[in-house]
Amino acid sequence: MASGSTQPLADPHRAEIERQCARLVHVYANANDAADWDKVAALYAEDGVMFRPTAAADGVAGRDRILASLRARPPRTTRHVCANVVVDVLSETEATGESAMLLFIGSAKPLVGSFHDRFVLTDEGWRFAERRGSLTFGA
């Protein structure tokens, strides 16, 4: 479901859910740039699915497989800048979100894209049920 296409949850906790989900987006970017793969993988639900912007058709399902996929990456220096984060609360346990992403990789040309996220409330707190990246410019 596209971000902005639902009515916001009329609940006093909506703003807090939005804040927590938006925080996940930013924590993800910082942990990714620090190559803290354990932290990045822990931001997904156990059965979460990750679609990288550079491989948008190839999902990696499950926290353990996501972690293995991240650890298999060659080392690199990156800086992710996330903006225009909009979270739509669907219920007390589900939300969707969209954000713009600018990725700097060393001296390479920056990549510009977006993430479309599905968030779910777990026993560990809010996590990504699905994180689907795509590129608009670059590659």
pLDDT of residue 130: 98
Please give the single-letter amino acid code of residue 46. Answer: E
- Report yes or no on 117 lying in a domain: yes
Cα separation, 22 vs 70, in Å, equals 22
- Report yes or no on 116 lying in a domain: yes
- Report yes or no on 3 lying in a domain: no
pLDDT tens across 64-113, in order? 999 999 999 999 999 999 999 999 999 999 999 999 999 999 878 899 99
| 8, two tokens | 């916001």
Number of structural domains (the chain) is 1
- Report yes or no on 2 lying in a domain: no
- Report yes or no on 8 lying in a domain: no
Cα separation, 91 vs 3, in Å, equals 14
Model pTM? 0.88
pLDDT of residue 63: 97
Instruction: Tell me which residue range forms the domain holding 25.
Output: 14-137
pLDDT of residue 2: 46
Q: What is the CATH number of the domain that holds 30?
A: 3.10.450.50
- Report yes or no on 5 lying in a domain: no
| 57, two tokens | 């058709």
pLDDT of residue 1: 42
> In sequence order, what E strands does 1-139 have?
44-51, 59-61, 78-89, 94-105, 111-122, 125-137
pLDDT tens across 28-73, in order? 999 999 999 999 999 999 999 999 988 878 999 999 999 999 999 9
Cα separation, 135 vs 100, in Å, equals 10
- Report yes or no on 38 lying in a domain: yes
